[in-house]
Structure 1
Amino acid sequence: MTFVLQGNSIKAFGKAVHALARIGDELWLDPMVKGLALRTVNSSHSAYACFLFSPMFFQQYSLGSGSEQDSQPIRCQLVMKYVLPLFRCLTSIERNVKRCQISMKASSDQVTIKFFCRHGRK
């Protein structure tokens, strides 16, 4: 599964991550046919928040091959304190980052977030 963000979409995605970080300590990524859902719940389970980004929000939205889509849906749980620093400085992201690629692999339980900068640095 691959999701590619570009331009102002990166900034909006980062703001969503920051908003969710105020509520909970874990970030759930749920890729679906209707879009990518970012979810969190606080430790006492009294507050819940969800952002659903439609496939139109992304430059590229790929759930993988047909056999992968028919299998069990992937739900990925990430610790917020490791994700939040990636989107910490939104003004720097806006100026320097050209594109962001989020890849999820069910076989290896791995999520990769890559930033491609304007001057070739990652």
Structure 2
Amino acid sequence: MKCVIEGKNVKVFGRAVQALSRVGDELWLDPTVKGLALRSVSSAQSAYACFIFSPLFFQQYSLGGAPKQSSETVKCKLLLKSLLPLFRCLTSIERNVECCQISVSASSDWVVFQFFCRHGKKINYLC
């Protein structure tokens, strides 16, 4: 899966991640044909929250080489503690980030967040 988020939508995506951090400690990324679902469940499994971002939310959204009818989907579990610092400073992100690219590969065990900032700066983050 590969998706690109515009600078103004990075703030929206970051707020969704922050909201899910109040529900649980883990974030599930579930890319589907209908969009990217972000899910979180509390440790006692008494609370659940989900945000589904439509493919129209992204500048580019592709599931990769996997066929759409395939029963094998890529689902990723990330610790929110490691992800939250990326989206903490939302005001500075909104001013400096031009786009964010999120890549998930079925063959590797990495989720890659790449922030493309003004003046050619690039921030890579592996989860």
* TM-score, normalised by the number of residues in structure 1: 0.95
2-side partners of 1:109 and 1:47: how far apart? 28
1:23 match: 23
Question: What SS class does the counterpart of residue 46 from structure 1 fall into?
Answer: coil
Runs of 4+ displaced beyond 3 Å: 66-69
**Contact residue 63 and residue 69 of structure 1 kept, 8 A:** no
Question: Could you list the per-position Cα deviations for residues 44-69 of structure 1 after superposition, in whole angstroms to 9, with x for gaps in the alignment?
Answer: 00000000000000000010124476
1:48 match: 48
**Structure 1 range deviating more: 109-118 or 67-76:** 67-76
Q: CA deviation at 1:82?
A: 0.6
Query: Is 2:61 the counterpart of 1:77?
Result: no
Q: CA deviation at 1:110?
A: 1.1
Question: What SS class does the counterpart of residue 11 from structure 1 fall into?
Answer: helix
How many residue pairs get matched?
Answer: 122
* TM-score, normalised by the number of residues in structure 2: 0.92
Query: Is 2:121 the counterpart of 1:99?
Result: no
Question: Could you list the per-position Cα deviations for residues 3-30 of structure 1 after superposition, in whole angstroms to 9, with x for gaps in the alignment?
Answer: 1000221000000000000110000000
Question: What SS class does the counterpart of residue 104 from structure 2 fall into?
Answer: strand
2-side partners of 1:101 and 1:69: how far apart? 25
